[in-house]
Structure 1
Amino acid sequence: MSRRSTSGRGSGRPGTPGGRRPQRASKQSRSHGGVSPELIDDTAAGRRMSFRASVTVGALLIVLFGLIQPISSGLTQMQQIAALEADIDATKGEVDQLQEERERLDDPEHLERLARENLQYVHEGEEAFIVVDSPDDHGDEAGESEAGASKAVRAQPWYIELVDSLRAVGYANEEDPT
């Protein structure tokens, strides 16, 4: 059995309020006539940190500082994984588009249309016409002659461009004299 009585929690020792020991007066208060032990705040003793508590807090801080680097590298890796997953999704979209294009290229009608549009292929007996001016110039330059519209504008005269190109070709073919 325990020493405590059944009358309640605060019935520790006789003569002490609430069953607590009276606080011991410090040396200063005893020498200067100080304050009575009943007036000393009970929480003042709890505010001081014991050696064991300070060692425990120090150990926890060391562990926390040790975990900062792995946590930050883990977060960095999670961001990299998310970026790579986004790249994978984009690549899958491109693969799907390329597979659709491949399926369209298996269709002979689509191939024929591409050959007509891009390579100017025609069937036997058909005539092909190549339009020189661009479709943007239909309404604005109706009064100009077609020959003047198709001339290319050069930054330098043709003979200077020829000499420059011959020099470039000559320099490209020269071997190292060493």
Structure 2
Amino acid sequence: MTRRQRTERVPVRLPEQSARAGWLRSIRLSGFTIATLTVLVLTVVVLAPSLRIFVQQQQQIAQLRADVAAQKAGVKNLGDERARWDDPSYIEAQARERLNYVYPGEYSYLVIDDGQTVTTDDGQPISDKVQATQVDWIRMLLSSVLTAGLTEDKPGQIVAPVIKDKNG
């Protein structure tokens, strides 16, 4: 048998490493570390849904407590209102104000025209005369039905038809 010759070892220089790469290579994971990390991850996975449900229930409890407080305030207001109706002078004041009641021998004056002009929603004054429109409503109804039935436009795109009155 021939004996192998021993070769001389030549030192090899590795490329320079960054601080992060050196730090990552220095980490050694043991079996205990891996088991601990696994138990920690499983604990988080198992408890997360329960914690979410717990937080939701706490929010519901807070909302219900606020509702109960509002209801208690409403009950207190109604109790105060009921106590006012037990007072005869309050009942008298309400009857005079709401129902225009007066005692025998008193005179009640109602002001009908207090100088304010009554107007419509668009600001036009309301007339005391009956006005007749000159629009042919049958033709307008037929036009509306035909437009709605025969058009392929969307509802927001349909424009009301312009129909001239009988005089013009």
TM-score by length of 2: 0.53
1:16-71: CA deviation from partner (whole Å, max 9, x where unpaired): xxxxxxxxxxxxxxxx6679xxxxxxx99972111232122112101111111111
C-alpha deviation, 1:121, in angstroms = 1.1
Counterpart in 2 of 1:56? 36
Aligned runs of 1:17-166 on 2, under 5 Å? 47-133=27-113, 137=116, 151=128
C-alpha deviation, 1:154, in angstroms = 8.6
The amino acid of 1:124's aligned partner reads P
Larger radius of gyration: 1
Bigger share in helix: 1
Give the unaligned 5+ runs of structure 1. Answer: 1-31, 36-42, 142-147, 161-178
Compared CA separation, residues 61 and 34, structure 1 to 2 (3 A): farther
Compared CA separation, residues 34 and 152, structure 1 to 2 (3 A): farther
Higher relative contact order (CA 8 A, sep 6+): 2
Give the unaligned 5+ runs of structure 2. Answer: 1-8, 13-22, 119-124, 138-168
Q: CA RMSD in A?
A: 3.8
C-alpha deviation, 1:151, in angstroms = 4.2
Compared CA separation, residues 84 and 149, structure 1 to 2 (3 A): same
Identity %: 35
TM-score by length of 1: 0.50
